[in-house]
Structure 1
């Protein structure tokens, strides 16, 4: 509704960004122009994409299992991929400025064989992520409302399909801000209730005392002293490795991340990724430190839904720790807050997955192999069909997983086994000119085969069975995940030795053509020359942009190395090695740091985007007022030939009106 309102007010389907079609031919994924996504809007959208529903539910479940170490292992193990992806995103914009999807880059460099392999891995990534969203979300909705889980699996994607189909990536950018802002507010409500206002808990000290009691009643195997208040956790460390491996796959192979990287301007992509990663860290860390530990502290309270019993392993794996803790803390209000954050996280993350899958089917399958000469209008039609088709498929698939007993937690630790063998080949595609075609083509499927064999053999040897419980345990998943990520370190040198080092010149990536948007532009009465990316860019402008990207690439590499070392080594490892068990004062400081950090995230993704877009927001709200009151139609303020140049206000370089005609914006000013 919000998206369509913005489109209506802007008359042309380009709204405040200036175009009905995405520049560089991104006709279907957008309605928003690359180069016009500000850094804070970008990091807001990016933060919301990575804040999938499983982040909040899964991180709380890990905190319930392993104590204070769980939230940190979860957050740090998933943040480093976001930071490292900043380097890949910058290099992608340098090497292939007109690419619609990452898979186009694969085809441009290696040809059809590798393209088909990476298409399969990309689709598997999107299917796994969407399945986690729907299985976890439906379990929470069912537990809080009594709705049958199969019905929830079909109802949750319905609204997402509708607004994604009509709004494209603009729908995700607009709703991402609202969803992220509300999600952060709800996390703060949970935090202040747990650590300040609750009559049952009400302070970090009270939570600390109850955690000490919980450790005495049911100590954690593998934790220092059986305590929930230590970073030294054997099973937590195993999850840490699994988490790192799996998230490499979901970030580096998810076309949704590349879509947002493509949509961002070169100047804003780097700070967007860096600040987005740092801002996101606080979300699962504080949420799990609050709700996971609150569940442990409140299990002995009659207000807890499972009282007097502990939560079952199935409920924990399904992601019900957070909703149970919310109900125990806030009653019906907690249930409402949980439903809100689940709905918002599911819809925002699912919309990104829908767009990613739609882009793959539209550009990398339909246009590439079935209709190379497809017009922009035809591509949009196909993208809409794919959004609907994928939504129905995933709803049905999630119902099947429910009846098979496969939960969100199982999918989360399994995803690395299935997809992470393609991470290193995908990275080398952008980063190394010597990576040859056959190393890229053969390594991912061979790595997948090795990972699955390792996973199942380890499960059989350690548990003696191949059921859901055994195959989902930590040791088999650890073996399979590590094999998936590291097997390319064996296969890539082997195939390089056999087939030789490639001497790639990056020319075929740079030559990726733009899509045909002329029919859409003509229908919207727009001049493609007025749209950045569609006009012929002078050589000097291209050189300036490449210089900016090269500088951003160097900064990204340095920043990611420093931050990765800080989050993976300098902060956690001394605490793990020492076996330190938190004191009450240290635990209080730990919580305070998390709350301060989440306020920083709130400013970055909640307040700064509004400030950054204040002029365009003023234009939109003024246009709405004028349209509603009937004083003046908003189209009078929109010059369809207005152009945008980096560093200048919108419309600064507006071309002169044709003889005998006036530019609409000038008419409005004169009147």
Structure 2
């Protein structure tokens, strides 16, 4: 995957002319379309926990577990579309959400919410590596500490060079692959596994399992119901905790920033609905199959999320083990890449540029970012190893995350949504909410179980109380404090104070900011987002819960077919929509690749000659000596018929200045170079010649082009337009050092 992503990034930068500026590195040029945003969200939101924990709660609670995992974690992404549109309206040039907080609430608040952002990335990364390392250890026998360090290697490899765009490419490949594997599992287990016996066989085995091992808290103790107290408690924890891991996670803000204004709406809503299919279908397959086939695991193995890999191996042998291992590994690496870019952007913009060097150039920002990616990538392995050896499991970290980060949700959201939000109330709400959440979590655990240990604090009731208290206390303080002392913030200040260095991106943002369209999109997101959320977490489950509905065989068939249909539909959208939207760029890349990257390198005419053609490169800088070199080339080879002359003009542009040039300026400069070449009068008897313009270091470009075109002779002036105290100009001297080609110098 790393190799594929590197090649995709190379293709885009080489054949589509994309420049690796800091804007490109952190925001992918802010031009990502709906399909790629949706696939990116599916991948970034598909953690190891998605593939493992969803089957675990289904194994524990039955159908309610798969439903509550999917519904409880999809609405946050769908509702985030509202913040994505508001960001496009009010702070379109933002790079990170703490950057927006700095302008809205001030320096001290910025530091607090930056800490929440980094804590969120750390928790998510810990879950990714913990889950991935546990599965690798279980299925392959690789030491879990080694596995924890193995996972970040591929992530660092492509992220450090490709930035956010590489992450998008990796996430598309990952999302497509995960859907394919989910469809393989559901097809094989339900329709080609004798031990299961099809959908009817699964139903009968679940009915028998309910009799032999009834579930405490489920209606009639059956696995075939959504009326489950344990699943409901998990669902509430899931909803609360995942608001934090979306709204306080820079990676989702980064997708909102990277998307086109017209893609922000559809990307998050489609992504959220498509993601629902992954845990829902996979857990309805592997989680239920674990119950049906009588998989037995100890408490520690369940908490490490080994239900899905054990079941896949039991039913499908090595193929099942390989498939589950591969999707876990790719999910961890793709989501991990997203976390790496998020942490690097926070450190680069909110620490380095804000507090250490406000005047930093784009090249310095990229350098800091790459150091951060390398450091945090290695730290991922260290953190996961420490947590594992300290006794923390994937399930424990997943359920307690809302306690630690849920209190930041309301203050961050209201920074964009409500101009009356009081900055002191919002900032204190985050801190007080965190303190109250942690205190209530530990207090309840001690009150019920008489001790404060990993075991007591890992129970559902203390975690439920801690999660709910954290988010509700913060919400209450933010609203009440803002009503008591309201502010009247002018959101135009964000547009004035948050700036983009890249001229092209800045002009594009100003051109694409259609206030009327964004207002319509905002109304649409609110209407659709709240409607879907209410349906998924209130209307749908309540209708099953209040009626104490238990699935009969026919209704169970409908439920399974709903999961299968949803998965196939989501897979089709996630796999094909990005390809349809990118068809123009894909066609252009293939066309340029077939044309050998550029028309100027097309040597197809060579075949008309019986003998090899003599290729001569004549660099022209406008000086008399360079023009004299052209005529000397004509003089030396005037009697030969098999000669092609390449006239090269290099516009000097050093790497240090690359950050300050966008594609439009580059094209303008190169057009000026073409004008210079067109003004050069070519002798009439030279019939086969090409004019080439390059941007960069003259000597290096001359040497590179001579190798690329397989030049036989370079003919150039001893000196050019530059000043030199020696007999040879500095460009000529450098060319003689760099090239192995024959060089003829003109006086």
The question of 1:534 aligning with 2:547 is answered no
- Which of 214, 222, 228 matches 2:223? 228
Q: Given that residues 102 and 109 in structure 2 are in contact (C-alpha distance below 8 angstroms), is that contact kept between their aligned partners in structure 1?
A: yes
**Are residues 659 and 138 of structure 1, via their aligned partners in 2, closer, same or farther at CA, if it must alter by over 3 Å?**
closer
Out of 54, 65, 71, the position equivalent to 2:66 is: 71
Per-residue displacement from partner, 1:211-258 (whole Å, max 9, x unpaired)? 111111111000000000001000110001000000000000000001
State the 1:557 CA deviation.
0.6
Q: Which residue of 2 aligns with 1:503?
A: 488
Where do residues 138-217 of structure 1 align in structure 2 (5 Å cutoff)?
138-217=133-212
Matched, 1:33 2:29: yes
Listed one character per residue, the Cα deviations across residues 67-102 of structure 1 (whole Å, up to 9, x for unaligned) are 011111111111111111000111011110110001
Is the Cα contact below 8 Å between 2:93 and 2:506 reproduced in 1?
Answer: no
Asked if 1:623 corresponds to 2:592, the answer is yes
Query: What is the match of residue 16 of structure 2?
Result: 16
1:626-671 CA distance string (max 9 Å, x none): 449999479xxxxx9xxxxxxxxx99x986973561799x999xxx
Q: Which residue of 1 aligns with 2:96?
A: 101
Answer yes or no: is the 8 Å Cα contact 2:426–2:477 preserved in 1: no
The answer to whether the Cα contact below 8 Å between 2:92 and 2:509 also exists between their aligned partners in 1 is no
Cα distance in 1, alignment partners of residues 10 and 140 from structure 2: 36
Counting only pairs closer than 5 Å after superposition, residues 398-409 of structure 1 correspond to structure 2 as 398-409=384-395
- Of 352, 355, 361, 1:366 maps to 352
Pairs within 5 Å for 1:195-344: 195-299=190-294, 310-344=296-330
| Aligned equivalent of 1:437 | 423
- Separation (CA, whole Å) in 1 of partners of 2:395 and 2:676: 57
> How far has the Cα of 1:394 moved from its partner?
2.1
Partner residue, 2:550: 581
Mapping of residues 468-617 of structure 1, within 5 Å: 468-496=454-482, 500-517=485-502, 528=503, 531=504, 533-535=505-507, 541=511, 545-617=514-586
The aligned counterpart of 2:727 is none
CA 280–536 in structure 1, closer or farther in 2 if over 3 Å, else same: closer
CA deviation string 1:177-228 (max 9, x = no partner): 1111111111011101111011211411111111111111111000000000
Cα distance 1:138–1:10, how it changes in 2: closer, same or farther (>3 A)? closer
Bigger drift between 208-217 and 130-139 goes to: 208-217
Residue 319 of structure 1 contacts residue 408 of structure 1 at CA under 8 Å; is this kept in 2?
yes
In terms of Rg, which structure is larger? 2
Could you tell me how far 1:514 is from its partner in structure 2? 2.9
Q: 2:672 and 2:595 mapped to 1: Cα distance?
A: 29
Distance 1:459 1:466 in 2: 6
Q: Secondary structure of the residue that 2:224 maps to in structure 1?
A: coil
How many residue pairs match? The answer is 620
Residues 268 and 142 (structure 1 numbering): CA distance in 2 closer, same or farther, change over 3 Å? same
- Give TM-score scaled by structure 2 length: 0.79
Partners of 1:96 and 1:512 within 8 A in 2:
no
Out of 342, 345, 367, the residue aligned to residue 356 of structure 1 is 342
Tell me how far apart the structure 1 counterparts of residues 397 and 432 of structure 2 sit (CA, whole Å): 21
1:637 corresponds to which residue? none
Q: Secondary structure at the match of 2:507?
A: coil
Q: Secondary structure at 2:194's aligned position in 1?
A: coil
CA contact (8 A) 1:417 1:452 kept: yes
Higher strand proportion (structure 1 or 2): 2
Q: In the aligned structure 2, how far is the partner of 1:11 from the partner of 1:165?
A: 15
**Offset of residue 613 of structure 1:** 1.0
Q: Distance in 2 between matches of 1:229 and 1:326?
A: 21
Sort the Cα spacing of 1:367 and 1:537 in 2 relative to 1 into closer, same or farther, 3 A: closer
Supply the distance in 2 between the matched residues of 1:667 and 1:196 (Cα, whole angstroms).
Answer: 64
User: Could you tell me how far apart the structure 1 residues matched to 2:331 and 2:555 are?
Assistant: 32
Provide the rounded CA distance (Å) in 2 between the counterparts of 1:316 and 1:536: 51
Determine if contact 2:411/2:475 at 8 Å carries over to the other structure: no
Unaligned runs of 5+ in 1: 305-309, 518-527, 635-639, 641-649
Corresponding residue number in structure 2 for 1:116: 111
CA distance in 1, matches of 2:76, 2:97: 17
Distance 1:663 1:390, change over 3 A: farther
* Residue aligning to 1:658: 671
CA shift for structure 1 position 376: 0.3
1:16 and 1:616 in contact (8 A); partners too: yes
In the other structure, the counterpart of 1:645 is none
Conserved 8 A contact 2:404-2:434: yes
- How far apart are residue 516 of structure 1 and its match? 3.8
Structure 2 counterpart of 1:90:
85
Q: CA offset at residue 5 of structure 1?
A: 2.5
Residue segments in structure 2 that go unaligned for 5+ positions in a row: 604-650, 652-662, 678-689, 693-747
Is the counterpart of residue 347 in structure 1 residue 333 in structure 2? Answer: yes
Matched ranges for 1:446-457 at <5 A: 446-457=432-443
SS in 1 for 2:16: helix
Give the direction of change, closer, same or farther, for the CA distance of 1:656–1:379 in structure 2 (3 Å limit): closer
2:404 aligns to what? 418
Q: Is the 8 A contact 2:81 2:269 kept in 1?
A: yes
Distance in 1, Cα, partners of 2:109 & 2:428: 8
Partners of 2:675 and 2:523 in 1: CA distance:
46
**1:289-319 superposed Cα distances (whole Å, 9 cap, x missing partner):** 10100111112xxxx6xxxxx2112111101
Q: Distance in 2 between matches of 1:619 and 1:495?
A: 55
**2: CA distance, partners of 1:151 / 1:482:** 37
Judged with a 3 Å threshold, the aligned counterparts in structure 2 of structure 1 residues 548 and 324 are, in CA distance, closer, same or farther, namely same
Q: Is the 8 A contact 2:248 2:408 kept in 1?
A: yes
8 Å CA contact 1:27, 1:376 repeated in 2: no
CA distance in 2, matches of 1:156, 1:123: 20
Using the size of structure 1 for normalisation, the TM-score is 0.88
Residue matched to 1:59: 54
Instruction: Give me the whole-angstrom Cα distance separating, in 2, the residues matched to 1:175 and 1:312.
Output: 35
Alpha-carbon contact 2:9-2:166 (below 8 Å) kept: no
**SS of corresponding position for 2:408:** helix
**Structure 1 position 617, deviation (Å):** 1.1
The Cα of 1:619 is off from its aligned counterpart by: 2.1
After superposition, the Cα gap between the structure-2 partners of 1:176 and 1:432, relative to the gap in structure 1 and judged at 3 Å, is: same
